[in-house]
Amino acid sequence: MTITGFIVLLLVAGVCGSIAQGVAGYSHGGCLVSIALGFIGAIIGNWIAAALGLSEILAIQLDGQTFPIVWSIIGAVLFVAVLNLLRPRRQRTTD
Protein backbone atom coordinates (compact mmCIF):
# COMPACT_ATOMS: atom_id res chain seq x y z
CA MET A 1 0.00 0.00 0.00
CA THR A 2 1.34 3.40 -0.93
CA ILE A 3 1.39 6.35 1.43
CA THR A 4 -1.25 8.09 -0.67
CA GLY A 5 -3.53 5.07 -0.48
CA PHE A 6 -3.03 4.88 3.26
CA ILE A 7 -3.91 8.56 3.71
CA VAL A 8 -7.05 8.13 1.60
CA LEU A 9 -7.95 5.06 3.67
CA LEU A 10 -7.57 7.11 6.86
CA LEU A 11 -9.81 9.82 5.40
CA VAL A 12 -12.50 7.32 4.43
CA ALA A 13 -12.35 5.71 7.88
CA GLY A 14 -12.60 9.16 9.49
CA VAL A 15 -15.69 10.04 7.46
CA CYS A 16 -17.33 6.71 8.32
CA GLY A 17 -16.49 7.19 12.00
CA SER A 18 -17.88 10.73 12.08
CA ILE A 19 -21.09 9.63 10.36
CA ALA A 20 -21.44 6.90 12.99
CA GLN A 21 -20.84 9.43 15.77
CA GLY A 22 -23.59 11.62 14.35
CA VAL A 23 -26.04 8.75 14.09
CA ALA A 24 -25.30 7.46 17.59
CA GLY A 25 -25.18 10.90 19.21
CA TYR A 26 -21.60 10.51 20.43
CA SER A 27 -19.51 13.64 20.14
CA HIS A 28 -16.42 13.09 22.30
CA GLY A 29 -13.04 13.11 20.62
CA GLY A 30 -11.80 14.50 17.38
CA CYS A 31 -10.38 13.30 14.12
CA LEU A 32 -8.33 10.44 15.58
CA VAL A 33 -11.35 9.09 17.44
CA SER A 34 -13.37 9.19 14.22
CA ILE A 35 -10.65 7.30 12.35
CA ALA A 36 -10.42 4.69 15.10
CA LEU A 37 -14.21 4.29 15.13
CA GLY A 38 -14.19 3.84 11.35
CA PHE A 39 -11.63 1.04 11.54
CA ILE A 40 -13.25 -0.64 14.57
CA GLY A 41 -16.60 -0.34 12.85
CA ALA A 42 -15.21 -2.00 9.72
CA ILE A 43 -13.99 -4.95 11.77
CA ILE A 44 -17.26 -5.31 13.69
CA GLY A 45 -19.40 -4.71 10.61
CA ASN A 46 -17.52 -7.28 8.51
CA TRP A 47 -17.81 -9.81 11.33
CA ILE A 48 -21.58 -9.25 11.59
CA ALA A 49 -22.01 -9.43 7.80
CA ALA A 50 -20.02 -12.68 7.62
CA ALA A 51 -21.95 -14.19 10.53
CA LEU A 52 -25.28 -13.38 8.88
CA GLY A 53 -24.09 -14.36 5.40
CA LEU A 54 -24.59 -10.87 3.95
CA SER A 55 -22.54 -9.38 1.15
CA GLU A 56 -20.76 -6.03 1.06
CA ILE A 57 -23.19 -3.26 0.20
CA LEU A 58 -20.76 -0.49 -0.70
CA ALA A 59 -17.02 -1.00 -0.65
CA ILE A 60 -14.05 1.05 -1.83
CA GLN A 61 -10.99 -0.54 -3.44
CA LEU A 62 -7.80 1.28 -2.41
CA ASP A 63 -4.44 -0.15 -3.52
CA GLY A 64 -5.81 -3.68 -3.48
CA GLN A 65 -7.46 -3.25 -0.07
CA THR A 66 -11.25 -3.30 0.27
CA PHE A 67 -12.88 -0.98 2.80
CA PRO A 68 -16.61 -1.61 3.44
CA ILE A 69 -18.33 1.76 3.83
CA VAL A 70 -21.81 0.71 4.96
CA TRP A 71 -20.62 -2.08 7.26
CA SER A 72 -18.08 0.27 8.78
CA ILE A 73 -20.78 2.78 9.66
CA ILE A 74 -23.13 0.11 11.02
CA GLY A 75 -20.37 -1.51 13.09
CA ALA A 76 -19.21 1.85 14.45
CA VAL A 77 -22.77 2.83 15.42
CA LEU A 78 -23.16 -0.45 17.31
CA PHE A 79 -19.76 0.01 18.97
CA VAL A 80 -20.61 3.58 20.05
CA ALA A 81 -24.00 2.45 21.36
CA VAL A 82 -22.34 -0.21 23.51
CA LEU A 83 -19.79 2.35 24.77
CA ASN A 84 -22.61 4.72 25.73
CA LEU A 85 -24.36 1.93 27.65
CA LEU A 86 -21.18 1.09 29.58
CA ARG A 87 -20.25 4.69 30.36
CA PRO A 88 -21.38 5.86 33.80
CA ARG A 89 -23.91 8.66 33.82
CA ARG A 90 -23.00 11.92 35.47
CA GLN A 91 -25.47 13.36 37.92
CA ARG A 92 -26.38 16.97 37.33
CA THR A 93 -26.52 19.10 40.39
CA THR A 94 -28.14 22.47 40.62
CA ASP A 95 -26.57 24.87 43.04
**Mean pLDDT to the nearest integer, 32-47:** 86
pTM reported for the whole predicted model: 0.78
> Would you state the pLDDT for residue 51?
92
**Mean pLDDT to the nearest integer, 76-85:** 85
Which residue range(s) make up the domain with 78?
3-86
Residue 12 lies in a domain: yes
Radius of gyration of the chain (CA): 15
Domain count, the chain: 1
Alpha-carbon distance of 57 to 55, in angstroms, equals 6
Alpha-carbon distance of 44 to 72, in angstroms, equals 7
Q: Whole-number mean pLDDT of the chain?
A: 83
The DSSP call for residue 63 is: T
Residue 11 lies in a domain: yes
Confidence of residue 35 (pLDDT cuts 50, 70, 90): confident
Residue 61 lies in a domain: yes
Residue 94 lies in a domain: no
pLDDT at 91 over 80: no
Residue 58 lies in a domain: yes
